[in-house]
Amino acid sequence: MALHDNHLPTSWISASQRSSLSVTANKSHLDPCSSGTGTVLSVQNPNPECSSMILSLARTEHGTGSDDYMLFNQFDVVQDFSDHHYAKTSPGKATKDWVKAIQSEWNLLQKNLPESVYVRVYEDRIDLLRAAIVGPAGTPYHDGLFFFDVRFPSEYPKCPPHFETLVARHFYERECIILDSCNAYMSGAVVGSSAGSSARYACDKCFADFKKSLTLYSEHLRTEFAANRSRLLELERQASPLDEIVPSS
């Protein structure tokens, strides 16, 4: 998982001005971040409930009219893939079945993206894809932009992307934060409150039951986190240099 501090790549905004690439384009490579020329089908909800950051960026670039906001496509085919994590890797040998599988994925993404997910694929590198997930309102992730760089190997879909290492690394990097949060909740901090908040639960029977159950879960978490550390080391030893999903810088 990767987080860009509420900063949207310029190419994502510029791409929305010229969405004109067909998913069935002749070229056989995915590109996530730049603007293209051709014919793309834009799948937009008239009133997407996405982060205020996305909304403000789109309006800053194109104006305040609803028609201008619609220009910021959730799915788009672009050209510039220079900042992609796998930009310098070889795309491998493209077979007819592989290209067909990638085009099928593009069609699914065009029609079925949740409102908080934005995807860029590349005209000249269809083996690459970049996805941005907007943190949902009402959660600690609100207004956060999480970017994922993905590479489809030449064996895809027989060899699907590997998520296990991504998930294991995520919990390895955040286990201390999770356990610290559990300790704060057991001391009376309101679940979901910001760090340092003075909000506290009343010390009643309901809280006592919650504290008791969370204490048990915390011990279970410590056991699982220890097992996860060992599993992550094993996965990283087995991983190839071209692991398909990595944190985007």
**For 94, which DSSP code?**
P
* Owning domain of residue 190: 164-241
234 inside domain: yes
How large is the average pLDDT for residues 175-204?
A: 81
Q: Is 118 helix (H, G, I), strand (E, B) or coil?
A: strand
Sort 204 into a burial class: Cβ within 10 Å, 0-12 / 13-18 / 19+. Answer: exposed
Alpha helices in 118-204 (DSSP H): 164-186
How large is the average pLDDT for residues 84-94?
A: 89
End-to-end CA gap in the chain: 10
Same structural domain, 116 and 178: no
Q: What is the pLDDT of residue 240?
A: 60
pLDDT band at 68 (very low <50, low <70, confident <90, very high): low
68 inside domain: yes
Q: What are the pLDDT digits (tens) for 4-52?
A: 444 555 445 444 443 333 333 333 333 333 333 332 332 333 333 434 4
Q: What is the pLDDT of residue 43?
A: 31
Contact 31, 79 (CB under 8 A): yes
Same structural domain, 125 and 217: no
Same structural domain, 103 and 168: no
Q: Is 171 helix (H, G, I), strand (E, B) or coil?
A: helix
Q: Which two tokens stand for residue 88?
A: 């310098």
Strands (E), the chain: 3-4, 75-78, 117-122, 128-134, 145-151, 245-247
Q: What are the pLDDT digits (tens) for 96-150?
A: 999 999 999 999 999 999 989 999 999 999 999 999 999 888 777 887 889 999 9
Q: What is the pLDDT of residue 158?
A: 82
158 inside domain: no
Decide which of 121, 151, 181 is a domain's last residue: 151
Q: Is the overall model pTM greater than 0.75, yes or no?
A: no
Q: What is the pLDDT of residue 203?
A: 74
Q: What are the pLDDT digits (tens) for 203-245?
A: 777 888 888 899 999 999 999 999 999 999 988 888 765 554 5
147 inside domain: yes
How large is the average pLDDT for residues 183-193?
A: 83
Q: 78 or 40: which carries more pLDDT confidence? A: 78
Same structural domain, 50 and 117: yes
Q: What is the pLDDT of residue 14?
A: 43
Q: What is the pLDDT of residue 242?
A: 52
Amino acid (one-letter) located at 187: S
Contact 32, 81 (CB under 8 A): yes
Same structural domain, 117 and 201: no
Does the structure show a pLDDT above 50 at 58?
no
Same structural domain, 178 and 57: no
